[in-house]
Chains A and B, each alone.
Chain A
Amino acid sequence: MTAPIKHTAQSWAERAGTTSFNEASARTRLELLLDAGSFVEFIGPEQREVSPHLRIFDLPEQFDDGIVVGRGRLNGSTVFVAAQEGRFMGGAFGEVHGAKLIGLLRAARQIKSIPVLILFDTGGVRLQEANAGELAIAEIMRAVMEARTAGVKVIGLIGGRSGCYGGGGLIAGCCSALAVSEPGRIAVSGPEVIETNRGVEEFDSRDRALVWRTMGGKHRRLLGAADVFTDDTVEGFRDAALELLGLIEPFGLDRLKAEQVRLADRLRSFGACADAVDIWAAEGVAHAEMVPELPADQFIALANNIGRTSRDAR
């Protein structure tokens, strides 16, 4: 028996505060991230811009090709948004999916003053679209850098079920700043890929604790790969996006050089560590082995003590 669905009396703000970003659909994330009722979609599902490739493989299409793009308002200011649907083909980038994000970034580059929020939820390139998907990743990376060069702030929000892997991890690395939650994972090669190529001794993909402390949100925040850590609610990501919009500074060659220095320092400092716990201990985290157990508020306090990525990098 399916019970009839009743509209709860919860307000938009209450729903944003209680809805798990991780579990919500791409459309629900946008509805609750942006000011209530402000979202306007570009190339919506009614236009049926579906993948030209999936039919060849006898696979089902989705009307929005797994990504929702448009504009809305965040605390009254206009932002561009793109949200991947991680449940449709693992949120993977195909030709149309990628083109929608490229178009959004190019529009932002032209307008200059409107920031872009990318809600990543992806396993990487959609293998059925092979070269078209790989090209999309390269074009998006270029579009992100060109938008940033024109003065656009490009923020990645990472907390979806599919994480942010493959080409998604590369694009995230190009963003002005990233916010991440505990279930958010950021990497290029995923656990299974590493195990397949390098063996189980190198990486046991079934060891979930290992996966999370190597690629998960807490580690990415402590390592400086993500700028802000948030609890897993849509409101948490909304607050994180607002915070980051206030932090991001102008982008240019000096910043890229500073980022290079930061990454070189990181490799020098932690390159010999065999496990994420060793890195946390080397950073001065007391009881580093307890980090995975910490509730979000305690972890945020700890991360704030460790400090944030230096402002001149990224």
Chain B
Amino acid sequence: MEDLSFQHKARSRAGGSKQTAIIGVVASGNLEVLVERVLPGVECRLEIKTAATGFGEVWDAVVADFVERHSPGGLKFSINDGGARPDTVSLRLAQAVRLIEENGQ
């Protein structure tokens, strides 16, 4: 297992008012993303626990691309990864943002 952490400043705060959302499962080639609206301003943090060690640079690129596209300000992402490919990671992150931006508590 490897623990990774990334800190970014997004362009703007994420929409919606939901406090948490979760998507995905921890399985081979899959991951779960728990997203929580707990950070001030446009801060964005991702904490990753991954079963595939040595892919820090790939995560760095995927995360930077995600923050640029979705501007998830104020959100903290906690990820349990079962060795998902970068495209699956991007998809789950996008799903997580969409879920927390939906209407609801």
B interface, CB within 8 angstroms of A: 1, 20, 22, 25-27, 30, 32, 34, 36, 49-51, 78, 80-82, 87, 90-91, 94-95, 98
Contacts and interface: CB of A to CB of B under 8 A. Distances in A.
A46 B36 contact: yes
A52 to B, nearest CB: 15
Contact of B49 (A25, A46, A61, A87): A61
17 contacts: A2-B90, A2-B94, A4-B94, A5-B98, A46-B36, A59-B51, A60-B49, A60-B80, A62-B25, A63-B22, A63-B32, A63-B78, A85-B25, A87-B25, A87-B27, A88-B25, A88-B27
A202 interface: no
Contacts of B91: 2
Contacts of B50: 60
B7 to A, nearest CB: 20
A62 B80 contact: yes
A58 interface: yes
Interface in A206-259: none
Contact of A87 (B30, B78, B95): B30
A173 interface: no
A27 interface: yes
For B22, B30, B49, B78, the residue with the greatest tally of chain A CB atoms inside 10 Å of its CB is: B22
Contacts of A17: none
Interface residues of A, number: 20
Contact of B34 (A5, A27, A45, A60): A45
Contacts of B81: 60
Nearest to B104: A37
B32 A62 contact: yes
A55 interface: yes
B26 A46 contact: no
Nearest to A55: B1
B89 to A, nearest CB: 11
| 9 closest residue pairs by CB, A with B | A87-B27, A62-B26, A87-B25, A60-B51, A46-B20, A45-B22, A60-B26, A60-B80, A2-B91
Given A44-B20, A62-B80, 7 more contacts: A45-B20, A46-B34, A58-B1, A59-B1, A64-B22, A88-B25, A88-B27
For A48, A85, A88, the residue with the greatest tally of chain B CB atoms inside 10 Å of its CB is: A88
Contacts of A58: 1, 51
Contacts of A55: 1
A184 to B, nearest CB: 19
Contacts of B87: 2
A66 B98 CA distance: 23
A25 B25 contact: yes
Contacts of B25: 25, 62, 85, 87-88
For A4, A25, A44, A46, the residue with the greatest tally of chain B CB atoms inside 10 Å of its CB is: A46
Nearest to B28: A87
A63 B26 CA distance: 9
Contact of B80 (A25, A27, A46, A63): A63
A60 B94 contact: no
A62 B25 CA distance: 7
A60 B1 contact: yes
Interface string A51-80: 000010011111110000000000000000
B41 to A, nearest CB: 21
Contacts of A27: 22
Nearest to A90: B27
Contacts of B78: 48, 63
A85 B91 CA distance: 20
A30 to B, nearest CB: 13
A148 to B, nearest CB: 31
A2 B32 CA distance: 18
Contacts of A64: 22
B18 to A, nearest CB: 12
